[in-house]
Amino acid sequence: MNGDAATTPASRMTSTATMIYTVGHPRASMRPAPRLLYFDIDGVLLDYDNRPKRALVAGVLEGHLKACEFDRLVCVSGWVTLVRAAHPHAPSPVHLAGVLARTAGDRPDNPAWSPSASDQHPLFPDAAWFLTRLRLIADPGKRCEAIDLTTDWWYADDFAADHFVKVHGRELFERQLGKRILQADPLSDGANLLTWLRDVVMANPRSRRVSTIDGPLQSAPRNERRKGCCGLP
């Protein structure tokens, strides 16, 4: 049997796939990029009276986040700094629990605060699910430096413009506003966050490396790529 006869349709498909890979298509194009939500707390999940926004409670927000299939939920809130400062010698699970507590309107910046069993969380009834995905940013004051533009990134913040433009420029901000970026309304009941998650994030399935929102995901030059926070891939 000669070489041509040995080349079955299946082997031709394998050869083609190998050729496509070797001519420069990144392996990441053959699988979903990590889907990350970078989120603030006050003004996004809570109102300015420290109360969970009423449209988000009773598992409604949690259900939307699960449907979006986020791999990581990255908290960029200044509360990350406050929790760490109040509990400087505590292990990281305590800091994660502190941020979870803050999303319920608690004050984990009090040094006397400590994690404890409590009533069902108003935003995250499945607290274990939230905590396994939660990551804390290194420096909330430079929060947008941690946004990895090579991933399937999403960003919700009531001060999104101030933080994002400073790092990534106004052109990208304006292009992604209402798409990958939600400028949250601190005075809303949270319905705008749910609408964004449902009509924008869910409408762009994570099974595709190329997003219907913006074509190929934006990649910074190699020497300017932002490192993911907290050991994110």
Averaged pLDDT, groups of 10, the chain, 233 residues long:
40 32 43 92 95 96 97 97 94 94 90 74 94 96 95 97 96 97 97 98 72 45 39 35
The model scores a pTM over 0.85: no
**Domain locations in the chain?**
33-231
| pLDDT at residue 113, rounded to an integer | 83
Alpha helices in the chain (DSSP H): 3-6, 9-22, 60-68, 79-86, 92-102, 127-133, 160-168, 170-176, 191-196
| pLDDT at residue 114, rounded to an integer | 79
DSSP 52: B
